[in-house]
A and B are shown apart, each in its own frame.
Chain A
Amino acid sequence: AQRVTQPEKLLSVFKGAPVELKCNYSYSGSPELFWYVQYSRQRLQLLLRHISRESIKGFTADLNKGETSFHLKKPFAQEEDSAMYYCALLNAGNMLTFGGGTRLMVKP
């Protein structure tokens, strides 16, 4: 069975501080992992995916198969980063399995 775990429900940091949102997964196959973000009053949207290895809005995430992790990082948090962040795993059948989400609050 596949599972995604986000251990922190809430992460509060000050503007300019580094941010790391943790995500661990379990999956028997080759995982395809994503981070989705939901800003206040907006719909869920894709932030980044591990296969593209890109940086979006200053965020990066590296897939670590040994530790089965896909942590989301940003060196300097901005107030506009405040949102709900969801880590998700896509299986071979195109079904997304989501973690419980982490609310990031960036304080001024």
Chain B
Amino acid sequence: EAGVTQFPSHSVIEKGQTVTLRCDPISGHDNLYWYRRVMGKEIKFLLHFVKESKQDESGMPNNRFLAERTGGTYSTLKVQPAELEDSGVYFCASSQRWGQGHYEQYFGPGTRLTVT
């Protein structure tokens, strides 16, 4: 079974540019999460999809960040325009059905974003 995949593994862009990160969850997983770790800080929650719907986007830092999950499969996270403080590692995770109990979140390898 393929794990959670993320693309690209590393992105270097200039301040003001746009970057789109992609996450492919494990097949059949309804839940998809985005987290990020900026330099020297904790891994922080950004948002949670259940299928194609945003269940919780309380962690999104501002309106420069836009996440989508059309069709309830893969997800994209767009940063437009990127700022220096957006640099960090963006993780995606997925877990099984939403409902009774909590299921293990499986993490992708992360995308390292560097804004110069």
Asked if B48 is an interface residue, CB under 8 A from chain A, the answer is yes
Contact size range, B: 20 to 34
B107 contacts A45, C-beta separation under 8 Å: yes
Using Cβ atoms and an 8 Å threshold, which residues of chain A touch B87? none
Stretch at the interface among A11-19, A54-62, A70-78, A94-102: A94-102
Name B58's closest neighbour in chain A (CB-CB): A95
Contact size range, A: 10 to 19
Task: Digitize A68-108: 1 where CB-to-B-CB distance is under 8 Å, 0 elsewhere.
Answer: 00000000000000000010001001111111110000000
Q: Say whether chain A's binding surface is mostly helix, strand, loop, or mixed.
A: strand
Q: A44-B43, A97-B45, A98-B43 are in contact. List 11 more A-B contacts (CB 8 A).
A: A43-B4, A43-B107, A44-B107, A46-B104, A49-B104, A93-B48, A94-B98, A96-B33, A99-B42, A101-B42, A101-B43
Residue positions of A touching B, CB distance < 8 A:
4, 32, 36, 43-46, 49, 86, 90, 93-101
